[in-house]
Homo-oligomer: A and B are copies of this chain.
Amino acid sequence: MTTTPSTSAAPPHAPARRLVIVGGVAGGMSAAARARRLDEDARIVVLEQSPYVSFANCGLPYHLSGEIAERSDLLLHTAESLRAALDLDVRTGHRVTAVDTAARTVTVATADGTYDEEYDALLLAPGAVAVRPPITGLDHPAVHALRTVPDVDALRGRVDTVLAAASASGRVARAVVVGAGFIGLEAVEALVARGLEVELVELADHVLPPLDAELAPLLAQELRAHGVGLHLGTSVTAVTDGAPEGTVTVTLSDARTLPADLVVVNVGVRPASDLARDAGLELSPRGAIRVDDDHRTSDPHVWAVGDAIEVRHAVTGDAGPVPLAGPANRQGRRAADSMLGHRTTPQAPVQGTAIVRVFGLTAAVTGASQAVLTRAGIEHEVVHVHPKHHAGYFPGAESVHLVASFAPDGRLLGAQGVGRDGVDKRIDVLATALRAGMTADDLAELELAYAPPYGSAKDPVNMLGFVAQNALDGTMPQWQAADLDEVLATSLVLDVRSAAERAVAHLPASLHVPHTELRTRLDEVRDAAAGRPVSVHCASGVRSYLATRILRGAGIDARNLSGGWLTLEALRPDVAA
C-alpha cells in the first residue's frame, strides 16, 4: 500500500478548516451556522456585499405595509451577534469579484480596496438578480424594486413622500405594480394598506401565473374588491415624467396610460451566477450553477446553494432554478454537512411549494400545475373540490377551493388551493403526500386531525382522494370546464341544481332537472340527450356526482363537471346567462 504526501488542503471529504461563504442571507447564513455547530475550530468567513446579513427578505412587503412595524425586526442577526453566538467572521460590504479555483482564493472588494481570501471550501450563495423588463424609463427614480432592505427603505420613503404630497393637493396617491407574482401581490396588498390606489399589470393572462387558470379569478375578484385595477395580458412599455411634477405616466402595451406616483417592478429573477461563470464553474443553459446531490459544483472545493443553483423538479424532472427561501435554507444546511465531511442526506427534488396572502385570501401551490404538466407532456386527471375548511355545521366555515392533478396510476402530481382559511394546512399536507409519492387511494385514507373547529371527519384532502379515485377508476367520469365549448357541441349539458340556483346563472343550452327529481325524470333526460353523452353539473360537483351515478345506473353515458359551476364560472365568466 502506498500513500501520497498530504497537501496543505484537506481532501474533499475530510473536514475543511477554512470556510468562505459568499452571501450572508438564507442559504449562506444557514450554511455558516451549521458549519460552526459541526466544527468548533473551523475558520468561517461570510462575505456579504450588502450592509445586511441574515435579513428577513420574505418580510420586506410586510414592513412596507407597516404590519411589521419595526425595521429592526427584519434584521435577524448582525455581524456582532453572529460572532458572539457562533464565532463567525461576518463581513458586510464585502463583494467577491473573482474566484481563483486553482489557488483557492477569492478576491474581495471593499470600500477600502481589494484583498484575497484563501479557502479550503468555498460556498457560493449569491442569490438572484432581478430581471429587468424592456421598459423605457426603468431607471426613473419613481421606479422601485422590493428585494432588499435598502429597497424597502427607499420604497417606504417614497410612499411617505407621495402620500404627503397627494394629501396636500387633495388627491389620492397612485401606484402601478408590474408583475403579479408572489412578491408583486404582496406589494399590492402593502400599498393598498398604506392608502394608495393600485393598478396591477401582468403579462400573463391571469394573476399569480403559477396558479391554475380556474383558481386565479378568485384572487382577481379579491384584488378588485380592494380597489385594485387589473391589467392582464399586458406589459408596461414606458415610464415617463408625468404631471403634476414628481409623478410619472406609465404606458401599457395596450396603449393605455396610467398616472402614478410610484412604480414597483417585480417580474422575476435570474440566478446571480456571473461570479461562478467567470470562475469557470459549470452552469446550466439558463445560467444556473450546476451542483451535485451534496451541492458541490464542478469544482470539488466549491459548493453552491440557493436561488443561483439548478435543482431538479420533483414532478417533471426538469432542471432549473427555483428561487424559494425554504429550499435555500435547507440547502445551506446540507452543503455545510458536505463541506465538513458530516453525514449527508440526498437532496430532495424541489416541488415549488409556495404560498401568498392576498388580502383575505390565501393561495398556495405544490408540485406541478396543470400548465406545467401539459407542457411537459405528462398525462394527468384533474379534480376540483370546494369543501369547507372545517365542519360545515361549526360557525365560520369557509370554502377551500382545491385543485389537484393525478397520474393515471393515481400518483399525486400537483395541488393548489385558494380560500379564506385552512388553505395552508391542506397544501402542506398535500406537499408531504406528494413528496412521499402518495396516490389518490392514499389521500382517501389519510388520518388527519378532526374536531369541528379544525376539519371534517372527511377532510378536504380525503375528499380530493375520494373524487380522484372515482374519476380514475371509472366510477365517475369527468368533464372539465376548460372543455366547455366541445362539451356543448357534442353532448347534453344537464344542470341538476335547484331552480333557485339556476335562476342566478346557468348555461342557456342546458337541460334542468334537480337531482332529487332525476330518478323519476330519466326518460326526459334520455329524450333530450338523443344518444349523445350527458354532461352533468351542479354547483360544486357533489350532487352532480350523485346524478352521474343515477344516470350511469340507468345505462346513460354520463359524466360529471369537475368542480361544478363554481369552477366553470371562474374559468368562463363569458358563458353564464
Contacts and interface: CB of A to CB of B under 8 A. Distances in A.
Nearest to A410: B345
B326 A68 contact: no
A473 interface: yes
A90 to B, nearest CB: 15
Given A436-B436, A457-B325, A67 B449 contact: no
A281 interface: no
A351 B448 CA distance: 9
B473 A446 contact: no
Interface in A114-144: none
A278 interface: no
A449 B429 contact: no
5 contacts: A84-B516, A87-B519, A428-B449, A432-B432, A433-B436
Nearest to A186: B451
Contacts of A211: none
A299 interface: no
The 3 closest A-B pairs by CB, nearest first: A40-B553, A436-B436, A355-B449
- State the number of copies, please: 2
B475 A38 contact: yes
A428 B431 contact: no
Given A428-B428, A432-B446, A56 B393 contact: yes
A62 interface: yes
A38 B429 CA distance: 29
A464 to B, nearest CB: 13
Given A445-B330, A475-B342, A554-B40, A26 B451 contact: no
Given A74-B393, A393-B56, A546-B85, A428 B427 contact: no
A10 interface: no
A446 to B, nearest CB: 6
Interface of A: 26, 30, 36-41, 56, 58-59, 62, 67-69, 73-74, 76, 84-87, 182, 186, 324-330, 333, 342-343, 345, 347-348, 350-357, 362, 364, 366, 391, 393-395, 424-425, 427-429, 431-433, 435-438, 441-442, 444-455, 457-459, 462, 466, 469, 473, 475, 515-516, 519, 543, 545-546, 549-550, 552-554
Contacts of A444: 330, 333, 345
A271 to B, nearest CB: 19
Contacts of A74: 393
A326 B425 contact: no
B59 A391 contact: yes
B58 A452 contact: yes
B459 A447 contact: no
Nearest to A469: B345
B451 A326 contact: no
A440 to B, nearest CB: 9
A526 to B, nearest CB: 15
Contacts of A84: 516
B431 A354 contact: no
Nearest to A357: B453
A455 B353 CA distance: 12
Given A432-B429, A459-B326, A449 B353 contact: yes
A331 to B, nearest CB: 10
Interface centre among A327, A436, A455 (most CB of B within 10 A): A436
Which of A39, A427, A454 is packed against the most chain B CB atoms within 10 Å? A454
A316 to B, nearest CB: 15
Nearest to A474: B343
Contact of A451 (B85, B330, B355): B355
Nearest to A450: B326
Contacts of A425: 424-425, 428
B553 A457 contact: no
A469 B437 CA distance: 22
Contact of A457 (B26, B182, B454): B26
Nearest to A356: B451
A393 B73 contact: yes
B350 A454 contact: no
A348 B444 CA distance: 10
A194 B429 CA distance: 36
Contacts of A40: 549-550, 552-554
A495 to B, nearest CB: 16
